Homo-oligomer: A and B are copies of this chain.
Protein backbone atom coordinates (compact mmCIF):
# COMPACT_ATOMS: atom_id res chain seq x y z
CA UNK A 1 0.00 0.00 0.00
CA UNK A 2 1.39 3.35 -1.03
CA UNK A 3 0.56 6.81 0.28
CA UNK A 4 -0.17 9.11 -2.66
CA UNK A 5 -0.78 12.84 -2.93
CA UNK A 6 -2.47 13.96 -6.14
CA UNK A 7 -3.17 17.44 -7.42
CA UNK A 8 -5.85 18.43 -9.92
CA UNK A 9 -5.99 21.91 -11.42
CA UNK A 10 -8.95 24.20 -12.09
CA UNK A 11 -9.67 22.84 -15.57
CA UNK A 12 -9.87 19.27 -14.25
CA UNK A 13 -12.61 20.33 -11.81
CA UNK A 14 -14.17 23.02 -14.02
CA UNK A 15 -17.69 21.52 -14.30
CA UNK A 16 -19.80 19.11 -12.24
CA UNK A 17 -19.12 16.43 -14.88
CA UNK A 18 -15.36 16.97 -14.70
CA UNK A 19 -15.52 16.86 -10.93
CA UNK A 20 -17.12 13.43 -11.23
CA UNK A 21 -14.38 12.31 -13.65
CA UNK A 22 -11.79 13.53 -11.22
CA UNK A 23 -13.56 11.72 -8.40
CA UNK A 24 -13.47 8.48 -10.44
CA UNK A 25 -9.75 8.85 -11.02
CA UNK A 26 -9.07 9.49 -7.33
CA UNK A 27 -11.24 6.55 -6.30
CA UNK A 28 -9.45 4.32 -8.81
CA UNK A 29 -6.13 5.22 -7.18
CA UNK A 30 -7.50 4.29 -3.77
CA UNK A 31 -9.06 1.06 -5.00
CA UNK A 32 -5.70 0.02 -6.42
CA UNK A 33 -4.74 -0.32 -2.75
CA UNK A 34 -3.43 3.14 -1.86
CA UNK A 35 -4.14 5.88 0.66
CA UNK A 36 -4.93 9.06 -1.26
CA UNK A 37 -4.84 12.76 -0.45
CA UNK A 38 -6.14 14.80 -3.41
CA UNK A 39 -5.46 18.52 -3.63
CA UNK A 40 -7.78 20.56 -5.85
CA UNK A 41 -7.84 24.11 -7.15
CA UNK A 42 -10.89 26.33 -7.58
CA UNK A 43 -13.14 25.46 -10.52
CA UNK A 44 -11.79 27.29 -13.56
CA UNK A 45 -13.31 30.74 -13.85
CA UNK A 46 -14.34 30.94 -10.21
CA UNK A 47 -11.28 32.83 -9.00
CA UNK A 48 -11.53 35.33 -11.86
CA UNK A 49 -15.17 35.86 -11.04
CA UNK A 50 -14.39 36.51 -7.38
CA UNK A 51 -11.70 39.02 -8.37
CA UNK A 52 -14.24 40.75 -10.60
CA UNK A 53 -16.71 40.99 -7.71
CA UNK A 54 -13.96 42.39 -5.47
CA UNK A 55 -13.23 45.12 -8.02
CA UNK A 56 -16.92 45.94 -8.27
CA UNK A 57 -17.37 46.44 -4.54
CA UNK A 58 -14.06 48.30 -4.28
CA UNK A 59 -13.81 50.56 -7.35
CA UNK A 60 -11.59 53.21 -5.71
CA UNK A 61 -8.78 51.16 -4.26
CA UNK A 62 -7.24 47.70 -4.32
CA UNK A 63 -9.11 45.51 -1.84
CA UNK A 64 -7.20 44.73 1.36
CA UNK A 65 -5.12 41.61 0.80
CA UNK A 66 -6.40 40.06 4.02
CA UNK A 67 -9.94 40.23 2.62
CA UNK A 68 -8.85 38.98 -0.83
CA UNK A 69 -7.59 35.85 0.92
CA UNK A 70 -10.88 35.34 2.79
CA UNK A 71 -12.66 35.75 -0.54
CA UNK A 72 -10.42 33.62 -2.77
CA UNK A 73 -10.15 30.77 -0.26
CA UNK A 74 -13.85 30.05 -0.86
CA UNK A 75 -13.01 28.82 -4.37
CA UNK A 76 -11.02 25.80 -3.23
CA UNK A 77 -13.35 25.21 -0.28
CA UNK A 78 -16.20 24.82 -2.77
CA UNK A 79 -14.25 22.32 -4.86
CA UNK A 80 -13.18 20.08 -1.97
CA UNK A 81 -16.76 19.75 -0.76
CA UNK A 82 -18.10 19.01 -4.25
CA UNK A 83 -15.37 16.47 -5.05
CA UNK A 84 -15.85 14.72 -1.70
CA UNK A 85 -19.59 14.51 -2.47
CA UNK A 86 -18.87 13.07 -5.92
CA UNK A 87 -16.54 10.42 -4.46
CA UNK A 88 -19.17 9.44 -1.88
CA UNK A 89 -21.79 9.29 -4.62
CA UNK A 90 -19.57 6.91 -6.61
CA UNK A 91 -19.44 4.55 -3.63
CA UNK A 92 -16.23 5.84 -2.04
CA UNK A 93 -15.62 7.49 1.29
CA UNK A 94 -14.17 10.98 1.31
CA UNK A 95 -13.87 13.95 3.63
CA UNK A 96 -12.78 17.47 2.79
CA UNK A 97 -10.30 19.65 4.66
CA UNK A 98 -9.55 23.34 4.20
CA UNK A 99 -5.93 24.44 4.41
CA UNK A 100 -6.48 25.56 7.99
CA UNK A 101 -8.11 22.28 8.98
CA UNK A 102 -5.28 20.32 7.37
CA UNK A 103 -2.75 22.10 9.57
CA UNK A 104 -1.08 24.18 6.85
CA UNK A 105 0.52 27.10 8.71
CA UNK A 106 1.87 30.06 6.78
CA UNK A 107 3.45 33.43 7.43
CA UNK A 108 1.29 36.56 7.42
CA UNK A 109 2.05 37.74 3.88
CA UNK A 110 -1.48 37.77 2.52
CA UNK A 111 -2.06 36.76 -1.16
CA UNK A 112 1.43 35.26 -1.41
CA UNK A 113 2.02 33.54 1.91
CA UNK A 114 4.79 31.01 2.49
CA UNK A 115 4.16 27.70 4.17
CA UNK A 116 6.11 27.65 7.43
CA UNK A 117 4.89 24.42 8.94
CA UNK A 118 2.46 21.57 8.38
CA UNK A 119 0.83 19.60 11.20
CA UNK A 120 -0.80 16.74 9.31
CA UNK A 121 -2.54 15.17 12.29
CA UNK A 122 -6.07 15.52 10.90
CA UNK A 123 -4.98 14.31 7.45
CA UNK A 124 -3.33 11.20 8.87
CA UNK A 125 -6.24 10.40 11.13
CA UNK A 126 -8.74 10.67 8.30
CA UNK A 127 -6.58 8.51 6.05
CA UNK A 128 -6.29 5.90 8.78
CA UNK A 129 -10.08 5.85 9.04
CA UNK A 130 -10.19 4.77 5.39
CA UNK A 131 -11.07 8.13 3.88
CA UNK A 132 -9.86 9.81 0.76
CA UNK A 133 -8.83 13.28 1.97
CA UNK A 134 -9.89 16.13 -0.31
CA UNK A 135 -7.53 18.97 0.52
CA UNK A 136 -8.04 22.59 -0.52
CA UNK A 137 -5.04 23.82 -2.48
CA UNK A 138 -3.63 27.35 -2.45
CA UNK A 139 -4.56 28.18 1.15
CA UNK A 140 -3.35 28.10 4.71
CA UNK A 141 -3.73 29.80 8.04
CA UNK A 142 -1.45 32.04 10.10
CA UNK A 143 -0.57 31.23 13.70
CA UNK A 144 -3.19 33.83 14.64
CA UNK A 145 -5.93 32.04 12.71
CA UNK A 146 -6.13 34.33 9.69
CA UNK A 147 -6.88 32.81 6.28
CA UNK A 148 -4.01 33.14 3.78
CA UNK A 149 -3.47 32.16 0.15
CA UNK A 150 -0.21 31.06 -1.38
CA UNK A 151 -0.24 32.99 -4.65
CA UNK A 152 0.27 31.67 -8.18
CA UNK A 153 0.95 27.96 -8.41
CA UNK A 154 -0.24 27.63 -4.83
CA UNK A 155 -2.10 24.36 -5.29
CA UNK A 156 1.00 22.62 -6.65
CA UNK A 157 2.82 23.91 -3.60
CA UNK A 158 0.12 22.55 -1.27
CA UNK A 159 0.44 19.11 -2.86
CA UNK A 160 4.23 19.04 -2.70
CA UNK A 161 4.40 20.40 0.83
CA UNK A 162 1.76 17.95 2.10
CA UNK A 163 3.53 15.08 0.33
CA UNK A 164 6.69 16.08 2.19
CA UNK A 165 4.90 16.43 5.52
CA UNK A 166 3.23 13.03 5.42
CA UNK A 167 6.19 11.40 3.68
CA UNK A 168 4.09 10.29 0.76
CA UNK A 169 5.47 7.61 -1.53
CA UNK A 170 4.30 9.51 -4.58
CA UNK A 171 3.16 13.02 -5.45
CA UNK A 172 1.32 13.32 -8.75
CA UNK A 173 0.69 16.71 -10.32
CA UNK A 174 -2.09 16.19 -12.84
CA UNK A 175 -2.24 18.64 -15.73
CA UNK A 176 -3.43 18.72 -19.35
CA UNK A 177 -0.14 17.54 -20.88
CA UNK A 178 1.64 14.19 -20.62
CA UNK A 179 4.64 15.61 -18.81
CA UNK A 180 7.66 17.80 -19.48
CA UNK A 181 8.84 17.70 -23.09
CA UNK A 182 12.26 18.28 -24.64
CA UNK A 183 10.59 21.28 -26.28
CA UNK A 184 7.07 22.53 -26.88
CA UNK A 185 5.64 19.88 -29.29
CA UNK A 186 3.62 22.56 -31.08
CA UNK A 187 6.94 24.13 -32.10
CA UNK A 188 9.12 21.05 -32.45
CA UNK A 189 6.96 18.12 -33.59
CA UNK A 190 9.79 15.67 -32.87
CA UNK A 191 9.95 16.68 -29.19
CA UNK A 192 9.71 13.77 -26.75
CA UNK A 193 8.50 13.43 -23.21
CA UNK A 194 11.32 13.49 -20.65
CA UNK A 195 10.98 10.45 -18.33
CA UNK A 196 13.11 11.93 -15.52
CA UNK A 197 14.40 15.41 -14.87
CA UNK A 198 16.34 16.92 -11.97
CA UNK A 199 14.95 19.73 -9.82
CA UNK A 200 17.55 22.15 -11.15
CA UNK A 201 16.79 21.35 -14.76
CA UNK A 202 13.07 21.69 -14.08
CA UNK A 203 13.74 25.08 -12.49
CA UNK A 204 15.74 26.31 -15.44
CA UNK A 205 13.08 25.02 -17.86
CA UNK A 206 10.36 26.76 -15.84
CA UNK A 207 12.24 30.05 -15.77
CA UNK A 208 12.84 29.76 -19.51
CA UNK A 209 9.24 29.61 -20.58
CA UNK A 210 8.25 25.94 -20.12
CA UNK A 211 5.32 26.81 -17.89
CA UNK A 212 4.27 23.39 -16.66
CA UNK A 213 4.81 24.54 -13.09
CA UNK A 214 5.78 27.62 -11.14
CA UNK A 215 9.41 27.75 -9.99
CA UNK A 216 8.53 28.11 -6.32
CA UNK A 217 6.84 24.71 -6.14
CA UNK A 218 9.89 23.08 -7.75
CA UNK A 219 12.19 24.97 -5.37
CA UNK A 220 10.14 23.78 -2.42
CA UNK A 221 10.29 20.19 -3.69
CA UNK A 222 14.04 20.47 -4.11
CA UNK A 223 14.54 21.95 -0.66
CA UNK A 224 12.61 19.16 1.04
CA UNK A 225 13.54 16.39 -1.36
CA UNK A 226 9.98 15.68 -2.48
CA UNK A 227 9.96 13.61 -5.66
CA UNK A 228 6.93 14.29 -7.85
CA UNK A 229 5.46 13.30 -11.19
CA UNK A 230 3.86 15.60 -13.74
CA UNK A 231 1.19 13.66 -15.63
CA UNK A 232 -1.97 13.94 -17.70
CA UNK A 233 -5.38 13.75 -16.01
CA UNK A 234 -6.99 12.69 -19.29
CA UNK A 235 -5.02 9.46 -19.85
CA UNK A 236 -2.98 6.88 -17.95
CA UNK A 237 0.40 7.48 -19.62
CA UNK A 238 3.39 7.70 -17.33
CA UNK A 239 4.51 11.30 -16.88
CA UNK A 240 7.77 13.04 -16.08
CA UNK A 241 9.37 12.35 -12.71
CA UNK A 242 11.06 15.34 -11.11
CA UNK A 243 13.67 14.28 -8.56
CA UNK A 244 17.13 14.78 -7.09
CA UNK A 245 19.83 14.40 -9.73
CA UNK A 246 21.84 11.23 -10.06
CA UNK A 247 24.90 10.10 -11.98
CA UNK A 248 22.92 8.62 -14.86
CA UNK A 249 21.27 11.96 -15.58
CA UNK A 250 24.59 13.58 -16.41
CA UNK A 251 25.09 11.37 -19.45
CA UNK A 252 22.52 13.50 -21.25
CA UNK A 253 24.13 16.82 -22.13
CA UNK A 254 20.96 18.77 -22.79
CA UNK A 255 17.69 17.75 -21.18
CA UNK A 256 15.49 20.18 -23.06
CA UNK A 257 15.11 23.32 -25.07
CA UNK A 258 12.77 26.04 -23.97
CA UNK A 259 11.55 29.17 -25.66
CA UNK A 260 10.04 32.36 -24.40
CA UNK A 261 8.33 34.82 -26.71
CA UNK A 262 7.14 38.39 -26.29
CA UNK A 263 10.43 39.58 -24.90
CA UNK A 264 11.83 43.07 -25.21
CA UNK A 265 15.43 44.18 -24.96
CA UNK A 266 16.50 47.33 -23.16
CA UNK A 267 20.01 48.72 -23.66
CA UNK A 268 21.58 51.63 -21.85
CA UNK A 269 24.56 52.74 -23.89
CA UNK A 270 27.61 54.60 -22.71
CA UNK A 271 27.19 54.57 -18.98
CA UNK A 272 30.26 55.12 -16.76
CA UNK A 273 31.93 51.85 -15.74
CA UNK A 274 31.92 52.53 -11.98
CA UNK A 275 30.30 51.08 -8.86
CA UNK A 276 26.66 51.95 -8.30
CA UNK A 277 25.56 52.18 -11.91
CA UNK A 278 23.94 48.75 -12.10
CA UNK A 279 22.43 49.28 -8.68
CA UNK A 280 20.83 52.54 -9.84
CA UNK A 281 19.41 50.94 -12.98
CA UNK A 282 18.05 47.75 -11.46
CA UNK A 283 16.96 49.48 -8.29
CA UNK A 284 14.66 51.65 -10.37
CA UNK A 285 13.40 48.62 -12.32
CA UNK A 286 12.76 46.61 -9.18
CA UNK A 287 10.91 49.48 -7.53
CA UNK A 288 8.53 49.44 -10.52
CA UNK A 289 7.85 45.72 -9.79
CA UNK A 290 9.28 44.56 -13.11
CA UNK A 291 10.91 41.14 -13.46
CA UNK A 292 14.01 41.27 -15.63
CA UNK A 293 15.53 38.17 -17.11
CA UNK A 294 18.89 38.09 -18.92
CA UNK A 295 21.30 40.83 -17.92
CA UNK A 296 24.39 41.41 -20.03
CA UNK A 297 27.14 43.97 -19.51
CA UNK A 298 29.87 44.45 -22.08
CA UNK A 299 33.52 45.02 -21.27
CA UNK A 300 34.11 48.72 -21.01
CA UNK A 301 35.85 50.92 -23.56
CA UNK A 302 37.24 54.31 -22.51
CA UNK A 303 35.56 54.01 -19.11
CA UNK A 304 32.13 53.63 -20.68
CA UNK A 305 30.06 50.46 -20.97
CA UNK A 306 26.68 49.20 -22.23
CA UNK A 307 24.18 47.35 -20.08
CA UNK A 308 21.36 45.31 -21.65
CA UNK A 309 18.58 43.22 -20.23
CA UNK A 310 15.43 41.49 -21.38
CA UNK A 311 11.96 41.70 -19.96
CA UNK A 312 8.39 40.91 -20.94
CA UNK A 313 7.14 43.25 -23.70
CA UNK A 314 4.13 44.11 -21.54
CA UNK A 315 6.45 45.65 -18.92
CA UNK A 316 8.39 47.79 -21.42
CA UNK A 317 6.46 51.07 -21.00
CA UNK A 318 6.76 50.86 -17.20
CA UNK A 319 10.49 50.11 -17.51
CA UNK A 320 11.08 53.06 -19.87
CA UNK A 321 9.46 55.52 -17.54
CA UNK A 322 11.31 54.08 -14.52
CA UNK A 323 14.64 54.36 -16.32
CA UNK A 324 14.14 57.87 -17.62
CA UNK A 325 14.14 59.11 -14.05
CA UNK A 326 17.59 57.63 -13.31
CA UNK A 327 19.15 58.26 -16.73
CA UNK A 328 20.36 61.78 -15.82
CA UNK A 329 22.36 60.35 -12.93
CA UNK A 330 24.19 57.97 -15.31
CA UNK A 331 26.35 60.56 -17.00
CA UNK A 332 25.95 62.87 -19.99
CA UNK A 333 26.34 60.27 -22.70
CA UNK A 334 23.99 57.64 -21.29
CA UNK A 335 21.29 56.75 -23.81
CA UNK A 336 18.32 54.39 -23.72
CA UNK A 337 17.56 52.00 -26.57
CA UNK A 338 14.74 49.46 -26.66
CA UNK A 339 13.79 46.69 -29.03
CA UNK A 340 10.71 44.51 -29.15
CA UNK A 341 10.08 41.39 -31.20
CA UNK A 342 12.70 39.41 -29.33
CA UNK A 343 12.49 35.81 -28.16
CA UNK A 344 14.66 33.75 -25.86
CA UNK A 345 15.97 30.25 -26.55
CA UNK A 346 17.55 28.19 -23.78
CA UNK A 347 19.17 24.79 -23.61
CA UNK A 348 19.13 23.22 -20.16
CA UNK A 349 20.91 20.20 -18.73
CA UNK A 350 22.99 19.21 -15.71
CA UNK A 351 25.16 17.25 -18.16
CA UNK A 352 26.71 20.57 -19.19
CA UNK A 353 28.76 20.57 -16.03
CA UNK A 354 30.74 17.59 -17.25
CA UNK A 355 30.51 18.12 -21.01
CA UNK A 356 32.36 20.96 -22.70
CA UNK A 357 31.34 22.63 -25.92
CA UNK A 358 27.62 22.96 -25.31
CA UNK A 359 27.53 26.68 -26.08
CA UNK A 360 29.68 26.21 -29.16
CA UNK A 361 27.44 23.44 -30.47
CA UNK A 362 24.36 25.61 -29.91
CA UNK A 363 25.87 28.65 -31.64
CA UNK A 364 27.01 26.50 -34.58
CA UNK A 365 23.52 25.09 -35.02
CA UNK A 366 22.02 28.57 -35.05
CA UNK A 367 24.68 29.82 -37.44
CA UNK A 368 24.05 26.95 -39.84
CA UNK A 369 20.37 27.84 -39.75
CA UNK A 370 21.28 31.42 -40.62
CA UNK A 371 20.01 32.86 -37.34
CA UNK A 372 21.77 35.80 -35.74
CA UNK A 373 22.32 35.75 -31.97
CA UNK A 374 21.59 39.04 -30.20
CA UNK A 375 22.49 38.40 -26.57
CA UNK A 376 24.07 35.51 -24.72
CA UNK A 377 23.76 34.57 -21.08
CA UNK A 378 24.89 31.40 -19.37
CA UNK A 379 24.49 29.68 -16.04
CA UNK A 380 25.99 26.45 -14.80
CA UNK A 381 23.32 24.31 -16.43
CA UNK A 382 21.83 26.64 -19.04
CA UNK A 383 22.85 28.55 -22.14
CA UNK A 384 20.34 31.19 -23.21
CA UNK A 385 20.35 33.44 -26.25
CA UNK A 386 17.95 35.96 -27.70
CA UNK A 387 17.04 35.94 -31.37
CA UNK A 388 14.57 37.75 -33.61
CA UNK A 389 11.12 36.52 -32.54
CA UNK A 390 10.10 35.58 -36.10
CA UNK A 391 12.93 33.05 -36.20
CA UNK A 392 12.39 31.40 -32.81
CA UNK A 393 10.66 28.25 -34.09
CA UNK A 394 13.29 27.63 -36.72
CA UNK A 395 15.97 28.20 -34.07
CA UNK A 396 14.34 25.80 -31.61
CA UNK A 397 14.13 23.02 -34.23
CA UNK A 398 17.76 23.49 -35.24
CA UNK A 399 19.05 23.35 -31.66
CA UNK A 400 16.72 20.46 -30.71
CA UNK A 401 18.21 18.42 -33.59
CA UNK A 402 21.77 19.48 -32.81
CA UNK A 403 21.54 18.06 -29.31
CA UNK A 404 20.08 14.80 -30.55
CA UNK A 405 16.76 15.32 -28.80
CA UNK A 406 14.48 14.42 -31.72
CA UNK A 407 12.15 11.49 -31.28
CA UNK A 408 13.85 8.49 -32.81
CA UNK A 409 10.57 6.83 -33.74
CA UNK A 410 9.39 9.76 -35.84
CA UNK A 411 12.81 10.47 -37.33
Contacts and interface: CB of A to CB of B under 8 A. Distances in A.
Contacts of A95: 66-67
A57 interface: yes
Interface stretch (A76-84, A324-332, A357-365): A76-84
A82 B54 contact: yes
Nearest to A134: B67
A60 B77 contact: no
A66 B85 CA distance: 10
A57 B96 contact: no
Contact of A57 (B16, B60, B61, B63): B16
Contact of A70 (B16, B59, B64, B96): B96
Given A57-B82, A64-B85, A85-B58, A122 B98 contact: no
21 contacts: A19-B57, A50-B78, A53-B82, A54-B82, A58-B85, A58-B89, A61-B89, A63-B85, A67-B81, A67-B85, A68-B81, A70-B77, A70-B96, A70-B98, A71-B78, A71-B81, A71-B82, A74-B74, A74-B77, A74-B81, A101-B146
A84 B20 CA distance: 35
Interface in A86-142: 86, 88-89, 95-96, 98, 101, 122
A84 B96 contact: no
Name the residue in A50, A58, A59, A146 with the highest tally of chain B Cβ atoms < 10 Å from its Cβ.
A58
A56 interface: yes
Contact of A88 (B63, B81, B85, B88): B63
B58 A86 contact: yes
Given A77-B77, A122-B145, A57 B86 contact: yes
A23 B58 CA distance: 11
A180 interface: no
Contacts of A147: 98, 101
Given A74-B78, A78-B71, A95-B66, A89 B59 contact: yes
Interface in A33-74: 50, 53-54, 56-61, 63-64, 66-68, 70-71, 73-74
**Top 8 A-B pairs, shortest CB-CB distance:** A16-B56, A71-B81, A74-B74, A58-B89, A70-B81, A63-B85, A57-B86, A58-B85
A136 to B, nearest CB: 9
Contacts of A80: 70
Interface in A293-340: none
A64 B82 contact: no
Contacts of A84: 64, 67, 70
A80 B68 CA distance: 11
A146 B59 CA distance: 35
Given A50-B78, A88-B63, A83 B57 contact: yes
A318 to B, nearest CB: 25
Contacts of A53: 16, 78, 82
B83 A77 contact: no
